[in-house]
Amino acid sequence: MKLRSPFLFLSTLLLALLLGACSPQDTATPATAGKREVSLPVIAAQAKGFSAGALMSTNVVYVFFDTQCPHCGHLWEASAALHKKVKFVWIPVRMISPISLAQGAALLTAADPTALMSEHEASLLAGKGGISASSSISTEIEKSITANTQLLNSFGAEAVPFVIARNLKTGLTVTRDGAMSTPVLAEFLGLDQP
């Protein structure tokens, strides 16, 4: 098969790579250096996030996300249909932009983080940059987001959203980066279709 336009091929390839997940701007140090096994108990004990969905559910899905990642916004929207079935814990990290820290802090300290996250993601996906957030962040919250980012990196994850859960059908711990549609997310989690 003869390629008609090398530019078209390269553009298509680049677009395909960008559609699934957001990666950090500085990739000089690979996240896979010193990689440790993904552990649900470690995430539960060490990560600081906010919960959405079935808050009393023992079926917990952890989502590491950056507030400036549009793929994370798409995953937020896709997860809404599953909120009656599982508990999602959204864990903010700072990978993409300095504003990610302030917006992540705003979400962690919000009286209603799920409402603020919905507002934020709607704004981000509309190309408006998300919620405005104060650059005045408590040391404790800044340390939490830094620790979240380090924890994500320790698993060798190189992009967000990064989803970790126990598949309800297999019982296995599963991980995946990138946005998913609701049906794909449900299948990944071992849930019946919504």
The band of 72, judged by pLDDT with boundaries at 50, 70 and 90, is very high
At 7 the pLDDT is 41
Residues in contact with 89: Cβ distance below 8 Å, sequence separation at least 6, in sequence order = 47, 49, 50, 51, 60, 61, 62, 63
The band of 174, judged by pLDDT with boundaries at 50, 70 and 90, is very high
pLDDT > 50? residue 33: no
Model's pTM, two decimal places? 0.84
pLDDT > 80? residue 31: no
pLDDT > 90? residue 27: no
Residues in contact with 135: Cβ distance below 8 Å, sequence separation at least 6, in sequence order = 102
What is the distance between the alpha carbons of residues 16 and 83, in angstroms, rounded to a whole number? 29
**Backbone φ and ψ of 82, nearest 5°:** -105, 0
Domain boundaries, the chain: 36-189
Average of per-residue pLDDT values in the chain:
86
The per-residue pLDDT for range 139-152, each reduced to its tens digit, is 999 999 999 999 99
Quick one: average pLDDT of 100-117?
Answer: 97
Pick the CATH number of 36-189 from 3.40.30.10, 1.10.274.10, 3.30.470.30, 3.10.180.10: 3.40.30.10
pLDDT > 50? residue 28: no
At 18 the pLDDT is 39
What is the distance between the alpha carbons of residues 53 and 60, in angstroms, rounded to a whole number? 10
Quick one: average pLDDT of 100-119?
Answer: 96
Q: Give me the helix-helix angle, 70-79 and 182-189, nearest 10°.
A: 70
Amino acid found at 40: L
At 114 the pLDDT is 96
- Edge-first strand listing for the sheet containing 162-166: 50-53, 87-92, 60-65, 162-166, 173-177
At 2 the pLDDT is 44
Quick one: average pLDDT of 90-106?
Answer: 96
At 192 the pLDDT is 86
